[in-house]
Structure 1
């Protein structure tokens, strides 16, 4: 039966007609304005409820509604008061609008449009600011989350339930238009996206300003991701923003606020020494949704399949003498070894056999229990713990998980990977931020392997300790740092610091910030000098981001102090949120139309606006419309995650066709290769063709290892970041052998494989 294309789970009309998004990027800060157009085509007044994702670190700073010619700007109020005001307005027949952050996760928001009369339209304007994360290839990533996947809410976890109607992305009954304007002091090299874009339009000859639009016909089957590349983007910068004229001096909004972007550069001598110790713990999501394809257009490679291939590269790249373990989780969790074991040929081979058997057959997404088990294991002396978490992020108890990582941040670093569309940015970024590591997102046609190997290189960097930040400012100016202390520094990675500047600075005054730290026993420091003169035309973006940073720190502190129910920290958050106009977990935006129009008569019809969800590959029976739906009674799995084990076991194993992974799988833990038929096959040769050219004075392992390195450099140089670490290990093994005739071997290997690889480039 045709329902006019307006589909919800109950075949009800959808009052949301369109979403228009305007993005303005200034250097590495984004301001996003979303306009949502609602129209009531029914014969009774409506309450429309829309639950949708936003970036986890966004600072929502404006919310307003326009009905006819009446414009209502929302105020930030304590959440309970806002709810009461909203309910009172609806019960008295007034129009009201409520916007609030979910209690479970800071990247989920709920928008309620109350008392929309028959035939009436309402235009909702929502504005937020957010920082852009730096990617491994130096691109800045902006993501407009469009896909909201069901989040697994474990039984007994904190917080209530947020209800949301969700439909497969192809059935979303409202349109999305998206346009972006980018400006920077540095020329814009390019803007890329997984979504189809109209061509980039430069606005000036210096190429420092440009616009770009989403091509017409965008489907809601993916988040809208932009990767922005500037020339010389790694320069430290400082932006000083003037306070709000109407705000009282001495307050956060009344004083100038500075945002520092620091890019510490480490001495090359220290960077060349890769750490050869550590305890590496890999935590792999095996929930049912990990069986979905990595990319809708390529149904062959699944998320779990890509994770298996990535684990192969990781295990081959680990240094001899370190320790490791692999955990996997769904509704339950498993580990390959009872506790972390020393990395050698035997343990590596045992782990790889178990990895090959891993399927997406463990049900829901219960990450807390395996994390607690990992943290319960005593740390190994002189082996710093490095945790790698791979998940598609469909987790409901995000705040609980992040708090647990934060509580244990003194004993480890956490590297997180969000896999596929709809992965929770609050979870992935929160794990890395609180765990002192680095976050990566893998979507669309991205290969997981290069991003993960980038993080392994970070993990193998010597840990930076004794970090301090000192300020040198004019005598009349004092500083209040709004950001939490810097606890982690990686080579070339940005650190952002926000600070409030109180007092009058003389004309042309300068400030200086010095970051000092110790790296592998070497004291180092980086300095940034900056003008205290406020920049023009920044609005209040820096103030709002600074307020958001401080609010998040205080929210963490409030959760830590639960049990000391004095409420002072919560009150401070509420005051700061109201003063800055920035959302928090304890406040909400409330707008009530108090114009003289007559009250709206009759009971309200509730209409849940469906959010797009990823439904790839197959349709799962019983997929609930509830975002945080409680698991069925007597069953620890929610229906959307309960993939039958026998179904997963019956799926045919994908043959390993990738020649790179075929070659890598043959490498020994020590770094060498054996001269065996499987190696010849991986090189595309027969056993005789490989064995005959071997110089007689050279042993078989040396010859095989040189051939493998020549093949990697000769045929796979375009993906060198994936195999670079295991090739370094192979080169170290070769150097330790002090083998004769190495030059002769390289020449013979080049002749055999048809390459022209120089001996020096092999690192031997």
Structure 2
């Protein structure tokens, strides 16, 4: 079993995935992606394959086709139930059919059913989607091809699309298929570099002005991790407007029939915005403590465990908070607990109490039930004059994503929500959806990324004066009407890119010019960004802008629908509510079918009606799922029978299905995973959750990072006390430190705090993004206590520590 991969027969003979081909076309801040997967049925019976794959949240899946035996079968959008019935009818009549639908649980998970694949036959499926690219902290655009779909924890009483249900794991063998990925890049802002976590070919420029380029994945890539491309532009803050012509066959006045305009803005804010302006605020940290948090941050098995990284991050956050604010910490899993009954004022006493509890935090709370702690947080009254800032840390394995996002959206007026997806496979729908609903900022930490700098970036956002009162105005010639498709956000941060869509109704001379103006307030100062654009639409954009606009409109309607359902709760729907829900669904189906963009209420159905001969023989169902990016310790675990009375739905990534067989009755089923420091057990025959995850292996003993030791010794007001522990960080004895203290200085804490600052600037300057806030507190404290002796302490400290630090660096 160890060497099997892909679809598996009862005799453990593979029905392999032959290859994956991915083409990425990046235009500005948007990616258009086509993925083709080739399979072959080596069984003696017809096969029905089911696999589930992840996709970036907000992606517009707009095209699907399959090819069997030289026959191309085009997918068509239908209302979801109608598509399911057509699929079942096709299988019943012996026809080949495909059904592609969005998960009921989450908008970033899709399920593809491949029906009646004849024995000995090869099939390929092609999926095309467009997506806005996320902006990283350093300004890079991030494209990610997921290699894993984690099992999503589903609350009791709910059905999971992704959890295989009571099936034990076995180690995965080599991946016997090829992956090719090529990317065509185009931007008037100029392409300066492309980086990746995987080996790439050399970047090849297609134009002298470096506005077009191409790059590809190096041959021999093993698809054992997400493939990430980081794209850097020479002029990233250059605003742009795209006007795209509508379909001639579509009705004028409809979204697809009219021209659509896309405005892309990446504002530069004054440097002062980076400086915290207020000590006000209520900071609530919601930390995942489910079993899966006891897995490594990196798929390579190196680096800290996720829960360890979360503990270190909480230490850094607690030391960086300003005096006078309020805070609380929640841990959640199958249940939840909070450090304090309600948020407490940030003092030395409350900080020490919280840090003691942080040290004992383990990944020991079972599953990943995030909804209940959210409700508990929102049930507590906000502190007057202290805006609430919620920080959520999770590996994103939940099945009730839409309910969670709706809960955040209900309370969007009273808080901001910053989210962090930890590890490969975190749900983009959950992480991005919560941040979007809470006017915050999402971040993903994968591979060897450090969690701390991204968290501190969000803390910087939370402490900034609000960039608010955003208003987008349009100035177009007579005869044109601008109909906004997307809502202007309530809050904008430094480092955020803003993409807005609008429909242009009517006609005018294409040689004329329109104007878009974004107005907003930064603190008390009004700001304005203005950009002019030609109204002549582009004809060769492939409807990318229209499809993204359609997805934006669909998501707005679906979010509103989820909000309504959440507000109804357990009560029976009234006739008026049912009618409203029906109208929303009809509108979503209409937009989806007109634009060809899939939604929660529609699905792609493809039936081979040209086949001259019906597929003969009993139909066998196979579930395909993705490899989990971990490694099992020690020897392989034995296979276990799956006791589910009906075929459980398994998972697979777009690119990397692995061994799994499911026949519906009690038969052998295996789930291939690679894990490190994580063991799995079978909880029951009817469900799988994070409760199955536990860490039984002792963690290796490593020398503590001296920077973490230094940070842990800092007091709430920003100062350090002179001690043996502090001297050890400096690799000195306490006597050496004391004997070097200037005679004019009598306060040991001043001397210790200056040394702490010098050590950070002299030996950890590369990690300044992580310790900058706590250093600001320390410097403020020193200036208030040392008076004229600061310069003496700096000179003596530089001599003692042997570091080179410009006094101006410390604003002295």
- TM band (smaller chain): over 0.9
**Equivalent residues in 2 for 1:227-246 (5 A)?**
227-246=230-249
Which residue matches 1:651?
A: 698
Work out the CA distance in 2 between the residues paired with 1:30 and 1:598.
40
In the TM superposition, what is the alpha-carbon distance from 1:537 to its structure 2 partner?
2.6
Q: Does 1:59 align with 2:60?
A: yes
Change in 2 beyond 3 A, CA 1:238/1:155: same
Change in 2 beyond 3 A, CA 1:325/1:257: same
Change in 2 beyond 3 A, CA 1:730/1:5: closer
User: In structure 2, the residue corresponding to 1:741 is in which secondary structure?
Assistant: helix
Change in 2 beyond 3 A, CA 1:481/1:597: same
User: In structure 1, the residue corresponding to 2:105 is in which secondary structure?
Assistant: coil
User: In structure 1, the residue corresponding to 2:263 is in which secondary structure?
Assistant: strand
1:573 aligns with one of 588, 592, 603: 588
Change in 2 beyond 3 A, CA 1:580/1:227: same
**Does the aligned pair in 2 maintain the 1:185–1:208 contact within 8 Å?**
yes
Work out the CA distance in 2 between the residues paired with 1:233 and 1:168.
44
1:462 aligns with one of 461, 465, 471: 465
Which residue matches 2:795?
A: 747
Change in 2 beyond 3 A, CA 1:245/1:523: same
1:202-233 deviations in whole A, cap 9, x for unaligned?
A: 33333322222223333333111111111111
1:109-140 deviations in whole A, cap 9, x for unaligned?
A: 11111111122222211100001000111010
Work out the CA distance in 1 between the residues paired with 2:611 and 2:446.
50
Work out the CA distance in 1 between the residues paired with 2:203 and 2:384.
53
Work out the CA distance in 2 between the residues paired with 1:348 and 1:575.
54
Deviates more, 1:10-19 or 1:290-299: 10-19
How does the TM-score come out when normalised to structure 1? 0.94
Which residue matches 1:71?
A: 72
Structure 2 residues not aligned, in runs of 5+:
566-572, 643-647, 652-670, 672-680
**Does the aligned pair in 2 maintain the 1:169–1:220 contact within 8 Å?**
no
Work out the CA distance in 1 between the residues paired with 2:171 and 2:20.
18
Work out the CA distance in 2 between the residues paired with 1:379 and 1:168.
49
Change in 2 beyond 3 A, CA 1:13/1:518: same
User: In structure 1, the residue corresponding to 2:709 is in which secondary structure?
Assistant: helix
Work out the CA distance in 2 between the residues paired with 1:273 and 1:326.
22
Q: Does 1:613 align with 2:660?
A: no
Which residue matches 2:714?
A: 667
In the TM superposition, what is the alpha-carbon distance from 1:6 to its structure 2 partner?
5.2
Which residue matches 2:531?
A: 528
Work out the CA distance in 2 between the residues paired with 1:552 and 1:279.
30
Deviates more, 1:343-352 or 1:686-695: 686-695
Which residue matches 1:249?
A: 252
Q: Does 1:151 align with 2:152?
A: yes
User: In structure 2, the residue corresponding to 1:387 is in which secondary structure?
Assistant: strand
Work out the CA distance in 2 between the residues paired with 1:421 and 1:4.
23
1:559-606 deviations in whole A, cap 9, x for unaligned?
A: 233431110011000000000000100000011111151222222111
**Equivalent residues in 2 for 1:492-511 (5 A)?**
492-511=495-514
Work out the CA distance in 2 between the residues paired with 1:436 and 1:198.
38
Work out the CA distance in 2 between the residues paired with 1:637 and 1:81.
29
Work out the CA distance in 1 between the residues paired with 2:389 and 2:31.
32
In the TM superposition, what is the alpha-carbon distance from 1:172 to its structure 2 partner?
5.0
Which residue matches 1:405?
A: 408
User: In structure 1, the residue corresponding to 2:530 is in which secondary structure?
Assistant: strand
Change in 2 beyond 3 A, CA 1:299/1:621: farther
Change in 2 beyond 3 A, CA 1:280/1:671: same
**Does the aligned pair in 2 maintain the 1:287–1:641 contact within 8 Å?**
yes
Work out the CA distance in 2 between the residues paired with 1:458 and 1:5.
45
Change in 2 beyond 3 A, CA 1:705/1:222: same
Which residue matches 2:280?
A: 277
In the TM superposition, what is the alpha-carbon distance from 1:517 to its structure 2 partner?
2.6
User: In structure 2, the residue corresponding to 1:109 is in which secondary structure?
Assistant: strand
Change in 2 beyond 3 A, CA 1:596/1:669: closer
Change in 2 beyond 3 A, CA 1:267/1:444: closer
1:1-40 deviations in whole A, cap 9, x for unaligned?
A: 7876556596363353222111111121111101111222
Change in 2 beyond 3 A, CA 1:35/1:7: closer
**Does the aligned pair in 1 maintain the 2:294–2:305 contact within 8 Å?**
yes
Deviates more, 1:569-578 or 1:752-761: 752-761
**Does the aligned pair in 2 maintain the 1:97–1:111 contact within 8 Å?**
yes
In the TM superposition, what is the alpha-carbon distance from 1:536 to its structure 2 partner?
4.9
**Does the aligned pair in 1 maintain the 2:623–2:650 contact within 8 Å?**
no
Work out the CA distance in 1 between the residues paired with 2:546 and 2:637.
45
Change in 2 beyond 3 A, CA 1:620/1:501: farther
User: In structure 1, the residue corresponding to 2:241 is in which secondary structure?
Assistant: strand
Work out the CA distance in 2 between the residues paired with 1:637 and 1:120.
34
**Does the aligned pair in 2 maintain the 1:316–1:726 contact within 8 Å?**
yes
The CA RMSD over aligned residues, in Å, is 2.5
**Does the aligned pair in 2 maintain the 1:168–1:615 contact within 8 Å?**
no
Which residue matches 1:758?
A: 806
Q: Does 1:224 align with 2:272?
A: no
Which residue matches 1:425?
A: 428
In the TM superposition, what is the alpha-carbon distance from 1:297 to its structure 2 partner?
2.7
User: In structure 2, the residue corresponding to 1:739 is in which secondary structure?
Assistant: helix
User: In structure 2, the residue corresponding to 1:740 is in which secondary structure?
Assistant: helix
**Does the aligned pair in 1 maintain the 2:286–2:330 contact within 8 Å?**
yes
1:527-574 deviations in whole A, cap 9, x for unaligned?
A: 222222223531100100010011000111222334311100110000
Deviates more, 1:616-625 or 1:665-674: 616-625
Work out the CA distance in 2 between the residues paired with 1:302 and 1:506.
61
Which residue matches 1:691?
A: 738
In the TM superposition, what is the alpha-carbon distance from 1:174 to its structure 2 partner?
4.1
1:332-360 deviations in whole A, cap 9, x for unaligned?
A: 11111111110111111111111111111
2:560 aligns with one of 557, 561, 567: 557
Which residue matches 1:206?
A: 209
Deviates more, 1:162-171 or 1:340-349: 162-171
Change in 2 beyond 3 A, CA 1:3/1:226: closer
Which residue matches 2:776?
A: 728
Q: Does 1:714 align with 2:759?
A: no
In the TM superposition, what is the alpha-carbon distance from 1:387 to its structure 2 partner?
0.6
**Does the aligned pair in 1 maintain the 2:23–2:182 contact within 8 Å?**
yes
Deviates more, 1:219-228 or 1:141-150: 219-228
Work out the CA distance in 1 between the residues paired with 2:341 and 2:596.
50
Work out the CA distance in 2 between the residues paired with 1:133 and 1:308.
27
In the TM superposition, what is the alpha-carbon distance from 1:685 to its structure 2 partner?
1.2
Work out the CA distance in 2 between the residues paired with 1:9 and 1:413.
50
Work out the CA distance in 1 between the residues paired with 2:685 and 2:126.
42
Work out the CA distance in 1 between the residues paired with 2:96 and 2:743.
89
In the TM superposition, what is the alpha-carbon distance from 1:640 to its structure 2 partner?
4.8
How does the TM-score come out when normalised to structure 2? 0.89
2:397 aligns with one of 394, 409, 414: 394
Deviates more, 1:382-391 or 1:207-216: 207-216
1:345 aligns with one of 339, 343, 348: 348
**Does the aligned pair in 2 maintain the 1:293–1:303 contact within 8 Å?**
yes
